[in-house]
Structure formats: C-alpha cells, structure tokens
Amino acid sequence: MLKYLWISVLVLAVDLASKLWISQTFQLHESLTIIPQWFNLYLAHNPGAAFSFLANESGWQRWFFALIATIICFVLVVWIKRLPAHEKWMAIALGLVLGGALANLWDRLTLGYVVDFLDFYYTTSVGREFHWPAFNVADMAISSGAVMLIIDVLFSKDKLERS
C-alpha cells in the first residue's frame, strides 16, 4: 500500500509551494481580502501547535512538536505499509495526514514555526468579526484525512461486521 504515498508527496508539494508563495508575496500579518465578510489571505507564523497551543513558550515547543510529528510520521508510514490491499480509503486518509504532518514538520525544522495563511471569518451586520484561526494546506489535509479515518471507523462495512 506504499503506492499511496504519492498522496503525501502531493500534499507536501502543494503545501510547501503555497507557503513559499505567500511568504514571498506578503509581509508578516499582511492581509488581502478575497471574499468580504468571509475569507482573507493573511500571513501568520505559528510557533505552537493547533490553535497556537503553546505558541508563547520560550522555544522548547519547536523541538517537542517536531519530535511528536516525526514519531507520528513513522507510525503512519508503517500503518500504510501494513494495510491490506482492499483498504484504499484508509490508505488515502493516512496519506493525507502523513503529507500534512510532513509539511508542517518541514516548517518547524527549517523555520521554527508553521506558516499559516488561510483566514476564514464572519462579519456580522453590526461589524463584529468571528475568526477561525489561520491555517494552511497541510492543516486541511490533516483534517480531511482525520475525518476520513472517523468515517472509516464508524461506517466501514468490514469493521461493522467484525464487531
């Protein structure tokens, strides 16, 4: 099932290319409205984890999250390698998660932070904004893969028959 690693390579390439483009085009914290009251491109650097968890620490979190990501990537490769041939959905899901994890790991190791730039928000009629934390292509791949894994666990006919 290692043939599905092409998905990880694709996610890695698209993510790194998009982060390179945004980093060369925008200044830190620069924003460009794409869809008013909904979506901006916004360059942010996140030294923490999801939702900027531990972002304000002294720097130890860079290596902590890099170590965790490295272990996760290793586990995912082994998992994909051991999948039975009929588990294509699972291989795709794991490939998405692996590609996203590798892309964010690359940022952590080379930059010390993860580049985020997709900024979704909602502006009410009275001007109040509700923002989702900025994220990137790797985060989308990880989230999509995780949702696919949940769907597989909950609705896979093979798994339902075994329980």
H-helix or E-strand spanning residue 90: helix 88-111
Q: Is 139 a catalytic residue?
A: yes
Do the Cβ atoms of 26 and 118 come closer than 8 Å? no
Q: Which of 116, 119, 152, 158 is catalytic?
A: 116
Q: Which of 107, 139, 152, 158 is catalytic?
A: 139
Three-state secondary-structure class, residue 26: coil
CA 98 to chain centre: 9
Question: Which residues make Cβ contacts (< 8 Å) with residue 111, sequence separation at least 6?
Answer: 45
What interhelical angle do 5-25 and 88-111 show, nearest 10?
Answer: 40
CA distance 61 to 67: 10
Q: Which two tokens stand for residue 29?
A: 């914290």
Q: Is 116 a catalytic residue?
A: yes
Report the catalytic residues: 116, 139
